[in-house]
């Protein structure tokens, strides 16, 4: 939800002024974000949901597990348009859409519930038979059996291989599963990986049993990795998915594969019935896994579940220096309770400046959130520094965190400086906070904005804030 809210602030919406953000969890467990990008030719506008999908697919993802969408301008819970649902369905027929309301309430639905009569491959095949001459259609590939097409995948000629890959997508899962699973015995691991990808793309939930069986027999780590990724979000029953990834997280012989499986398990934290088992798994990984990254991830997952343990706290600080950006992001976001207990001069607090200089803006933004939750005044100098960060999202997060502290003249000066920020949303937020503070000292700053700001909306908000402050004097 936080990622979707942050993405909405990056939206380009000068015409509708309706900014939307989306954040999706891909098959690998990674998060990709998008925002709406408007155009003077309205039909060329790109919605936030499709923007996030493009980011994910461009990074090599082919599956969507779930997506969250948010708009600060929405008066009620926001739902995706039909075009976006159609695109989401292409990569996540079993995915869930989490729609965040204006007060933070969330409505979650399956894509098929929101788009029950979607245009899919079955529709496409029907239309193709009606509209195309069979000989000139891609469906002509089905004149050959799946077994014949599969043979072409072994060809040394690259063009023949590519043609075979395209032809495979003209078959239904039931027509190809037998021939594809025979590739599980092929000596070429690249072909076995292709087999896993094709089964997952064509079969959806139908392919779960076949892919799980292939994973259990596979000896090559890279192929098992491809199967782990393809199985994400495919299990018809939640218990089956949890059991499968639990076994992989504890027993797979490859360090990276165990990390992927453990990361997938972290998605189950949203379901109360799995939290006790998840804590046991994390404690076991934290103490017995030989791979530092897995121990670190397990410690983070325990913190995310509200578990406070000395060993986990130590790993949480170490995670801020981890080379994996996803770990640093998660660590920075969950530092709040620990920061609240630290005192000025504490060794750990001195080390937190690492996060304020992290090259990834989302880490710096998440760190601001944690400092705000801690309400520890020791963090105020860091927040004031981040309020001038080069990234708009970080500046906005720093101001939001500062707003959670008691207002003082020093912090009000930071909001006064933000009145000159190039981002309209940040100037608007600064005006809102200065109005709440109701300090007469801020009126001259607001008067300058009311007169000189290039945006009429900002000038109006500044005049409104001035009137409200003077009314309370």
2-114: which CATH architecture?
3-Layer(aba) Sandwich (3.40)
Taking a C-beta distance cutoff of 8 angstroms, is the pair 283, 298 a contact?
yes
The CB density around residue 406, as the number of other CB atoms within 10 Å, is 7
Residue tagged active-site, from 49, 90, 98, 435: 49
Q: Across the strands, what pairs with 32?
A: 24
Taking a C-beta distance cutoff of 8 angstroms, is the pair 448, 417 a contact?
no
Ranges of each domain in the chain: 2-114, 420-473
Mean pLDDT of each 10-residue bin along the chain, 473 residues long: 84 82 88 88 86 90 89 78 88 85 75 77 46 42 62 72 70 71 76 78 78 91 90 84 95 94 89 92 92 89 78 74 85 80 63 80 89 86 92 92 81 92 91 91 93 92 92 79
For strands 96-100 and 64-70, give the pairing. parallel
The CB density around residue 467, as the number of other CB atoms within 10 Å, is 11
Respond yes or no: is residue 220 known to be catalytic.
Answer: no
Question: How many whole angstroms from its chain centre is CA 402?
Answer: 25
Taking a C-beta distance cutoff of 8 angstroms, is the pair 167, 144 a contact?
yes
Q: Is pTM, for the whole model, over 0.85?
A: no
Which residues, at least 6 apart from 112, have a Cβ–Cβ distance to it below 8 Å? Answer: 89, 93, 118
Residue the block writes with tokens 């981890």: 322
Q: Please report which helix (H) or strand (E) contains residue 31, including its range.
A: strand 31-35
How far is residue 249's CA from residue 224's CA, in Å, rounded to a whole number?
A: 12
Q: Across the strands, what pairs with 64?
A: 26
Per-residue model confidence (pLDDT) at position 344:
59
Per-residue model confidence (pLDDT) at position 103:
64
């Amino acid at each position: 939800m936080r990622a979707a809210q942050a993405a909405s602030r990056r939206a380009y919406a000068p015409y509708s002024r309706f900014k939307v953000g989306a954040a999706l969890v891909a098959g690998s467990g990674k998060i990709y974000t998008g925002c709406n990008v408007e155009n003077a030719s309205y039909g060329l506008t790109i919605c936030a949901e499709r923007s996030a999908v493009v980011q994910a697919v461009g990074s090599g993802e082919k599956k969507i597990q779930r997506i969250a969408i948010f708009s600060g301008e929405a008066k009620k819970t926001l739902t995706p348009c039909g075009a976006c649902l159609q695109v989401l369905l292409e990569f996540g027929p079993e995915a869930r859409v989490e729609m965040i309301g204006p007060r933070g309430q969330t409505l979650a639905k399956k894509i098929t519930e929101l788009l029950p009569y979607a245009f899919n491959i079955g529709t496409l095949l029907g239309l193709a038979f009606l509209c195309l001459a069979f000989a000139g259609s891609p469906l002509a590939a089905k004149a050959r059996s799946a077994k014949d097409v599969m043979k072409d995948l072994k060809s040394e000629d690259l063009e023949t291989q590519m043609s075979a890959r395209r032809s495979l997508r003209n078959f239904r899962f039931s027509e190809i599963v037998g021939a594809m699973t025979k590739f599980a015995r092929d000596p070429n691991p690249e072909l076995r990986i292709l087999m896993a990808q094709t089964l997952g793309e064509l079969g959806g939930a139908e392919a779960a049993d076949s892919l799980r069986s292939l994973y259990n027999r596979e000896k090559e780590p890279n192929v098992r990795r491809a199967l782990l990724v393809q199985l994400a979000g495919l299990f018809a029953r939640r218990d089956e998915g949890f059991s499968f990834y639990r076994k992989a997280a504890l027993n797979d012989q490859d360090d990276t594969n165990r990390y992927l499986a453990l990361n997938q398990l972290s998605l189950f934290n949203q379901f109360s019935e799995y939290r006790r088992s998840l804590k046991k798994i994390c404690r076991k990984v934290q103490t017995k896994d030989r791979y530092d990254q897995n121990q670190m991830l397990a410690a983070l997952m325990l913190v995310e579940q509200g578990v406070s343990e000395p060993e986990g706290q130590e790993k949480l600080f170490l995670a801020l220096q981890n080379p994996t950006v996803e770990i640093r992001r998660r660590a920075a976001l969950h530092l709040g309770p620990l920061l609240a207990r630290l005192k000025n001069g504490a060794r750990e607090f001195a080390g937190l400046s690492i996060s304020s200089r992290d090259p990834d803006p989302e880490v710096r933004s998440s760190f601001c959130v944690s400092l705000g939750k801690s309400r520890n005044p020791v963090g105020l100098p860091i927040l004031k520094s981040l309020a001038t960060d080069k990234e708009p999202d970080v500046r906005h997060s720093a101001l939001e965190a500062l707003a959670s502290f008691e207002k003082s003249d020093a912090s009000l000066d930071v909001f006064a400086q933000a009145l000159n920020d190039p981002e309209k949303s940040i100037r608007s937020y600064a005006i809102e906070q200065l109005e709440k503070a109701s300090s007469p000292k801020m009126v001259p700053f607001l008067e300058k904005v009311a007169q000189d700001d290039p945006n009429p909306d900002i000038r109006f908000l500044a005049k409104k804030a001035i009137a409200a402050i003077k009314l309370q004097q």
